[in-house]
Structure 1
Amino acid sequence: MTQDAPRSTASTPTSPGEPVVDTDDRAARREFDTPSGRVVGRVDGAVVRVLGVPYAEAERFEPPRPVAPWSSPLLAFDRAPASPQVASPGLDALIEGAAAGMVDDEHCQRLSITLPADLLADERVPVMVWIHGGSYVSGAGDLRVYDPRALVAEQRVIVVTVTYRLGMLGFFGVGDEVPANLGLLDQLAAVRWVHDTIEAFGGDSSRITLFGQSAGGDAIAHLMISEGARGLFARAIVQSAPLGIVRGRSRMVKAMTEAVGTPRKDAPLDELLAGQSVAERAAKRFGLRGGMAFGLQYGRAPLPAESAAADAWREVAPEIDLLIGATADETAVFAEFSPLLQRLFGLPVVGRAIRRLMIDATTKAVYHRAGRAFAERHRAAGGRVSTFEFTWEPEGTAFGAAHITELPLLLGGREAWAHTRLIGTTDWDDVDRRGRKVRQVWADFARTGTVAADATAGLADTLVVRRP
Structure 2
Amino acid sequence: MVASPRHVEVQTASGMLRGSVEGDQARFRGVRYARAARFANPEPEAPWEGVRDALAEGPMCPQPPFGLALLALPKPALPMGEDCLFLNIAAPAERSGDPLPVMVWIHGGAYVNGSGGGLIYEPSRLVSEGSAIVVGINYRLGVFGYVPLEGVAEANLGVRDQLAALQWVHDNIAAFGGDPEQVTLFGQSAGADSIVELLAVPEADELFSRVILQSPPLGLNKGREAIAAQLGANVLASLGEIDPREASIEQLLAAQVAASVGLTGDRLTVGMPYAPTPGVWPIAPAAERTDRLKRRAAGLEVLIGYARDDFSPFLDAVPALRRARASAVLRPVTEPISAELTRRVFGAPALALARLLSESGARVYTYRFDWRPKGTPWGACHCIELPFFWADEEFWRGSPMLGGVLWDDLEALSIPVRQQWLSFARRGIPAGDWPVYSPAERIGRHFRFEPRYGG
Alignment TM-score, normalising by the size of structure 2: 0.91
CA–CA separation in structure 1 for the residues paired with 2:361 and 2:434: 23
Aligned to 1:9: none
Q: CA deviation at 1:280?
A: 1.4
Aligned to 2:72: 95
Identity %: 37
Aligned to 1:105: 81
Aligned to 1:438: 417
State the secondary structure of the residue aligned to 1:51: strand
Counterpart amino acid of residue 303 in structure 2: L
Contact 1:385/1:450 (CA < 8 Å) preserved in 2? no
After superposition, the C-alpha distances for 1:394-414 in whole angstroms (9 at most, x for unaligned) are 233221100000000011121
Verify: 1:388 aligned to 2:364, yes or no: no
CA–CA separation in structure 1 for the residues paired with 2:411 and 2:326: 34
Q: CA deviation at 1:248?
A: 2.2
Contact 1:246/1:296 (CA < 8 Å) preserved in 2? no
User: How many residues are treated as equivalent by the alignment?
Assistant: 437
Match of 1:268 among 248, 264, 273: 248
Counterpart amino acid of residue 219 in structure 1: S
Verify: 1:300 aligned to 2:280, yes or no: yes
Aligned to 1:71: 49
After superposition, the C-alpha distances for 1:384-439 in whole angstroms (9 at most, x for unaligned) are 11111111122332211000000000111212112221222100011111111111
Counterpart amino acid of residue 388 in structure 1: Y
Q: CA deviation at 1:256?
A: 2.2
Verify: 1:194 aligned to 2:149, yes or no: no
Contact 1:58/1:65 (CA < 8 Å) preserved in 2? yes
Q: CA deviation at 1:96?
A: 1.9
Aligned to 1:5: none
Contact 1:80/1:142 (CA < 8 Å) preserved in 2? no
CA–CA separation in structure 1 for the residues paired with 2:187 and 2:56: 23
CA–CA separation in structure 2 for the residues paired with 1:462 and 1:243: 27
Contact 1:260/1:275 (CA < 8 Å) preserved in 2? yes
CA–CA separation in structure 1 for the residues paired with 2:445 and 2:183: 28
Q: CA deviation at 1:265?
A: 1.1
Match of 2:127 among 138, 144, 152: 152
CA–CA separation in structure 1 for the residues paired with 2:24 and 2:286: 45
Verify: 1:416 aligned to 2:395, yes or no: yes
Counterpart amino acid of residue 112 in structure 1: N
CA–CA separation in structure 1 for the residues paired with 2:77 and 2:324: 38
**Aligned-residue CA RMSD in angstroms?**
2.1
After superposition, the C-alpha distances for 1:246-279 in whole angstroms (9 at most, x for unaligned) are 1322332233223222762121111111111112
CA–CA separation in structure 1 for the residues paired with 2:142 and 2:332: 36
Aligned to 1:24: none
After superposition, the C-alpha distances for 1:131-182 in whole angstroms (9 at most, x for unaligned) are 0000000011112111110010011100000011111001111345211111
Contact 2:365/2:434 (CA < 8 Å) preserved in 1? no
Contact 2:150/2:232 (CA < 8 Å) preserved in 1? no
Match of 1:362 among 335, 338, 341: 341
Q: CA deviation at 1:228?
A: 1.2
Which deviates the most, 276-285 or 299-308? 276-285
Counterpart amino acid of residue 139 in structure 1: G
Aligned to 1:19: 3
Q: CA deviation at 1:459?
A: 7.7
CA–CA separation in structure 1 for the residues paired with 2:8 and 2:93: 9
After superposition, the Cα gap between the structure-2 partners of 1:348 and 1:65, relative to the gap in structure 1 and judged at 3 Å, is: closer
Aligned to 1:7: none
After superposition, the C-alpha distances for 1:269-317 in whole angstroms (9 at most, x for unaligned) are 1111111111211337741111111001010010121100000000000
